[in-house]
Chain A
Amino acid sequence: AQSVTQPDIHITVSEGASLELRCNYSYGATPYLFWYVQSPGQGLQLLLKYFSGDTLVQGIKGFEAEFKRSQSSFNLRKPSVHWSDAAEYFCAVGSGNQFYFGTGTSLTVIP
Chain B
Amino acid sequence: NAGVTQTPKFQVLKTGQSMTLQCAQDMNHEYMSWYRQDPGMGLRLIHYSVGAGITDQGEVPNGYNVSRSTTEDFPLRLLSAAPSQTSVYFCASSRDRQNHEQYFGPGTRLTVT
Binding site for B on A (CB under 8 A): 4, 9, 32, 34, 36, 42-46, 49, 51, 90, 92, 94, 96-104
Contacts and interface: CB of A to CB of B under 8 A. Distances in A.
A101 B43 contact: yes
Interface residues of B, number: 26
Nearest to B3: A43
Contacts of B106: 42-43
B75 interface: no
Interface in B48-80: 48, 50, 56, 58-59
A99 B101 contact: no
Given A32-B100, A43-B90, A99-B102, A90 B48 contact: no
A28 to B, nearest CB: 17
A46 B48 contact: no
A97 B43 contact: no
A101 B97 contact: no
B40 A103 contact: yes
